[in-house]
Amino acid sequence: LTAVRMETKNGVIVLDRADGSLATLSMQGQPDRAVALKRRDTAELLAEELRRLDPDNTYESTVKFGVDKLHAGGEVKAAPVEEKPAEAEQKAPAAKKAPAKKAAAK
């Protein structure tokens, strides 16, 4: 989001942030003003969104009632996977890792 445009009875108000930190506030009949806007990091933005997270009623209903209907025709069980003894013996051993380089002294 780089710009907001609002139409009021007194005219259009535009807040445009093209470069990221400095925005331009334009109002009809007023000179344009430069406005410094703080750039927030992703962690801060996510924390705000999660604090304001509303319940998802559709998801809740699906989990409560829809999952039971997925296998209405009968219970489905996964077949166990068997490993053949010959295949287990043919697997190559894991390659050894090279020793880590020492950090330069400061």
Strand partners, 26: 14
65: amino acid identity, one letter: F
Give me the domain span that covers residue 14: 1-54
Strand partners, 13: 6, 27
Establish if 37 belongs to a structural domain.
yes
Q: Find, among 32, 25, 34, the residue nearest to 3 by Cα.
A: 25
The pLDDT of residue 14 is 96
Q: Find, among 27, 23, 30, 24, the residue nearest to 12 by Cα.
A: 27
**Is the pLDDT higher at 98 or at 37?**
37
Q: Is the pLDDT of residue 96 over 80?
A: no
Establish if 3 belongs to a structural domain.
yes
Query: Could you tell me how far CA 63 lies from the centroid of its own chain?
Result: 22
For residue range 43-85, list pLDDT tens digits in order. 998 898 888 878 888 888 888 887 777 765 656 566 666 666 5
Establish if 86 belongs to a structural domain.
no
Establish if 28 belongs to a structural domain.
yes
Establish if 49 belongs to a structural domain.
yes
**Global model pTM greater than 0.85:** no
Establish if 25 belongs to a structural domain.
yes
Establish if 59 belongs to a structural domain.
no
Number of domains in the chain: 1
